[in-house]
A and B are shown apart, each in its own frame.
Chain A
Amino acid sequence: QSALTQPASVSGSPGQSITISCTGTSSDVGGYKYVSWYQQHPGKAPKLMIYDVSDRPSGVSSRFSGSKSGNTASLTISGLQAEDEADYYCTSYTRSSTLVFGGGTKVTVL
């Protein structure tokens, strides 16, 4: 159960777009559509931002979008805003019938 690989940090200026990658294997990210993304502000519980690779829960801004190509999933934040500064985690279902998280990415708004 190795953690999915995410960049430690990504930064961008307000209004820009950024993309966070989440790389796994054919036994997890590449093999299933069950990839989700979470936003976590300091001291708060995580919040679901994207599920099933690219679906957005009700109430989540359309500036957040998800995609997948092969063993790598991606979260894109368009029109970056100060409130988007947070930690972001991906997770995937695995062939072992478990779930695995990525190591997390700290997004900084410059």
Chain B
Amino acid sequence: VQLMESGGDLVQPGRSLRLSCAASGFTFDDYAMHWVRQVPGKGLEWVSGISWNSGFIGYADSVKGRFTISRDNAKNSLYLQMNSLRAEDMALYYCARALYYYGAFDIWGQGTMVTVSS
């Protein structure tokens, strides 16, 4: 059972970036998926979540209108499209699995770093 994030990079403020999370070792469409971020040395912040069939999606106020979560169950993949990036979006982004949308995150990836700087 594994989650592997990718796509993190150094990007200028105002630009866009797309993160991916590849799942393996479990039936991907049995689970909701989430993105959680962490500024190095700081606490965890929930970013966004999506139900197993994409029927329910939620966002933190801090990213609503700028970030879009999506999933492709045929590819066992989760995505986070991040637009209009700000300095405060700079963080390590984790994807995490949950048995149901409002449930606990039982499997986490190792994270991918997003750096926003000019």
Residues of B in contact (CB 8 Å), total 23
- Cβ-defined partner of B44 (8 Å) among A34, A57, A101: A101
* B105 and A103 within 8 A (CB): no
Residues of A within 8 A of B (CB): 1, 3, 32, 34, 36, 38, 40, 45-48, 51-52, 57, 89, 91, 93, 96-104
- Cβ-defined partner of A38 (8 Å) among B44, B45, B59, B111: B44
* B102 and A32 within 8 A (CB): yes
Give the CA-CA distance A89 to B108 in the complex, in Å: 14
* B58 and A98 within 8 A (CB): yes
Give the CA-CA distance A101 to B96 in the complex, in Å: 14
- Report B99 CB to chain A, min CB distance, Å: 9
The 8 A-B residue pairs with the shortest CB-CB distance in the complex, in nearest-first order:
A51-B104, A36-B104, A93-B102, A45-B108, A104-B43, A99-B46, A101-B44, A34-B102
- Contact partners of A101 in chain B: CB under 8 A: 36, 43-46
* B43 and A45 within 8 A (CB): no
Residue B60 at the A interface, CB < 8 A?
A: yes
- Report B57 CB to chain A, min CB distance, Å: 9
Give the CA-CA distance A1 to B46 in the complex, in Å: 10
* B103 and A51 within 8 A (CB): yes
- Cβ-defined partner of A1 (8 Å) among B61, B102, B111: B61
- Contact partners of A47 in chain B: CB under 8 A: 108
Known: A45-B94, A45-B110. A3 touches B103 (CB 8 A): no
Residue B8 at the A interface, CB < 8 A?
A: no
- Contact partners of B103 in chain A: CB under 8 A: 34, 36, 51-52
- Cβ-defined partner of B60 (8 Å) among A1, A34, A52: A1
Within 8 A of A (CB), among B79-118: 94, 102-106, 108-111
* B105 and A48 within 8 A (CB): yes
Give the CA-CA distance A96 to B46 in the complex, in Å: 13
- Contact partners of A3 in chain B: CB under 8 A: 43
